[in-house]
Structure 1
Amino acid sequence: MSPKKRTSSLQASLLPFARNAAMALVALLLVVAGVWASWGTAQHVLLSKGREHGTMTVTGCGEDVCTGRYDPEGAPAPRTDMTIARSVAVQKGARYEVVVKPDTREVVRTGWAGGLHAWLPLAGSLVLAGLVIGGGLRWTRMAWATGTAGGALLVASFLAL
């Protein structure tokens, strides 16, 4: 066998491995980015023990945030300078159970609705990763499982909000 044929044969055998490694890396990067984007809000919902809890009544909304009256549980006095991120789920005049982010004037919804809403970036990344896994890696079962998990999280969040 000539050295030229041996080199092309080696390249041909490494190409599928390199393609699979690249696609696996892209899928992993998508999921990690989804977790990273979700964790900023989800940590306050999941690890809320010891944080300040209360109820917020939305009085007005700007382009990015809504403000309102925050009524904490227990002895502290109500405050009117608290903000919550604006989304389709936040409406003027509505009351929400919230937890205060430490050392800020920002609150996050609690309960199932708040928890599912916090994990929305992960849901989107799972759907996208399912496409990469199915199309790039040709792992159809894993792709369906990943995409279905992301879709279920999206639907559950929609129904909870």
Structure 2
Amino acid sequence: MTEKLLRPMRTRRLPVRWLIRLLGAALAAVAYLLCLPWDLRNRPTTPGATEETTPVTAVGVALLGLALLLLAAYFGHWDRLGWAVLLVAAPPAALMQVSFRTHPQLDASAWPLAWGFFTLLIATGVLTAASVARALRGEWAREDLTLSNPL
């Protein structure tokens, strides 16, 4: 089973490729939903306050970042970089947009700016992790060649 998961995507049949990609996108969406739960009942912390309660915690953000980086490394290592960004960064960005749109009122129109910033941050992190994993793929392949052929 592990051997099948650790093969380059180009060596797999087309339906298997798409199934793995769909599973990766679903895992990215589930990670977002589990780590940053929605609370549609946002309310002011005190009467008249401008800050609202939020279920987002630093631990949740850190766990989401770790999950997305691991997914990005997997897809960057075994698939193309464009697929890694599309499959890992797009589902959280889309869910964040939906989350911002379901907010009862836009506070000084900061939501589009926040969405753009966090989407760029996620996409940059995913692209960086995928690029590092792709570069290590070449290093590991060279090490395997030198170990198998000492001369």
TM range (shorter): 0.3 to 0.5
When you count strand as a share of all residues, which structure comes out higher? 1
Asked which structure has the greater RCO (Cα within 8 Å, sep 6+), the reply is: 2
Q: TM-score when scaled to structure 2?
A: 0.33
Bigger helix fraction: 2
